[in-house]
Amino acid sequence: MQDDELLRYSRHILLNEIGIEGQERILASHALVIGAGGLGSPAAMYLACAGVGTITLVDHDTVDLTNLQRQIAHHTASVGTSKVSSAHACLSALNPNTMVRTHTQRADTTLLDALVPQADVVLDCCDNFTTRQAINEACVKHKIPLVSGAAVQFDGQITTFDARNERSPCYACIYPQDTPPEEAQCATMGVFAPLVGIVGATQAAEALKVITRVGDLLSGKLLMLNAKHMEWHALHIPRNRMCEVCG
């Protein structure tokens, strides 16, 4: 690391669990973030600030005025532009040393098969059940850890699916492909603005733990937050041996 990097990341380096070796892992890492909205904004911003070497952003959508209540990577001047280009500008301003790659399209099977093997960790920050299933399948196939988050109204949840661990469940273990949950969209149900920040920041924390190999991951544990009462609950999720994706 150069002198300016030692200074920029000094508060991480001071942590015995991370140190110079852990920070070098971060600098050499590649995170794939699917979704550049409410969850993807804080997640990607913290990853960039932490020094993740390459961040790939995937989102097909454009910035809308209604996004600005919670999607902190975007600004009033960004309205009408693609979310990935707006987020690219934000991340580059936060840390010009982070390489930001963008894809203005939906994360379909073909794109995921190309991008997931390149990543050290994948963050699912989307709000679409079909896309979540495709991301999960790609991560199981290529054995790449997946940090999954969701938030709507006052309720959030987060977990890490670690396909490298044979005991870890996958997304389809919790939500089977043939029994999709009722779609809960922010556009119709609303969302408490700081909630997506809490969940997205937690996703970034899990991703950095994957990269630095520090601490225990949320693998096999679904962490749920009721922000109205600020109560956290943990639900232990075993792997489904009959799962069509990872079983």
Confidence label for 183 from pLDDT (cuts 50, 70 and 90) = low
179 — pLDDT class (breaks 50, 70, 90): confident
pTM of the predicted structure, to 2 decimals: 0.95
Asked if the structure places residue 47 within a domain, the reply is yes
Q: What is the mean pLDDT of residues 22-37?
A: 98
75-132 pLDDT tens trace: 999 999 999 999 999 999 999 999 999 999 999 999 999 999 999 999 999 989 999 9
Q: Tell me the β-bridge partners of 223.
A: 158, 234
Predicted local distance difference test score (pLDDT) of residue 13: 96
**Tens digit of pLDDT for each residue in 151-163?**
999 999 999 999 9
Query: Does residue 195 surpass a pLDDT of 80?
Result: yes
Measured in Å, how far apart are the chain's first and last C-alpha atoms? Answer: 42
User: Does residue 186 register a pLDDT over 80?
Assistant: no
Beta strands at 155-161 and 221-226: parallel, antiparallel or unpaired: antiparallel
Per-residue pLDDT averaged across 205-233, rounded?
97
The single-letter DSSP state of residue 62 is: B
CB 71 within 8 A of CB 84: no
Residue 33, pLDDT score: 98
Average pLDDT over residues 32-43: 98
The answer to whether residue 11 is domain-embedded is no
Give the mean model confidence (pLDDT) for residues 10-19. Answer: 97
User: Is residue 216 a part of any domain in this protein?
Assistant: yes
Q: What's the pLDDT at 188?
A: 74
The Cα diameter of the chain in Å comes to: 53
In this predicted structure, what is the pLDDT of residue 200?
A: 98
Enclosing domain of residue 202: 29-236
Q: Is residue 52 part of a domain?
A: yes
Mean pLDDT of the chain: 95
Q: Which whole-number Å values give the CA distances from 246 to 83, 137, 141, 239, 240, in the listed order? A: 32, 8, 9, 8, 8
Confidence of residue 240 (pLDDT cuts 50, 70, 90): very high
Residue 157 CB contacts under 8 Å (≥ 6 apart), including other chains: 149, 150, 151, 199, 222, 223, 224, 225
- In contact, 161 and 139? CB cutoff 8 Å: yes
Q: Is 227 part of any domain?
A: yes
Q: What is the DSSP string of 66-122?
A: GGGGT-TT--GGGTTSBHHHHHHHHHHHH-TTSEEEEE-S---HHHHHHHGGG-SEE
What's residue 73's pLDDT?
97
pLDDT of residue 54: 98
How far apart are the C-alpha atoms of 194 and 182, rounded to whole Å?
Answer: 23
CATH code at position 177: 3.40.50.720
The predicted structure's pLDDT at residue 1: 84
What is the arithmetic mean of pLDDT over 207-228?
Answer: 97
Total count of domains within the chain: 1
Tell me, yes or no, whether 140 lies in a domain: yes
Answer yes or no: are the C-beta atoms of 191 and 151 closer than 8 Å: yes
The answer as to whether 210 is a domain residue is: yes
Residues near 156 by Cβ (< 8 Å), separated by ≥ 6?
A: 149, 150, 195, 196, 198, 199, 224, 225, 227
Strands 121-124 and 146-152, how do they pair? Answer: parallel
pLDDT band per the 50, 70, 90 thresholds, residue 184: low
Angle between helices 40-50 and 83-94 (to 10 degrees): 30
The reply to whether 33 falls in a domain is: yes
Task: For residue range 48-78, list pLDDT tens digits in order.
Answer: 999 999 999 999 999 999 999 999 999 999 9
Range 195-214 average pLDDT: 98
Query: For position 10, what pLDDT does the model report?
Result: 97
Chain mean position to CA 31 = 8
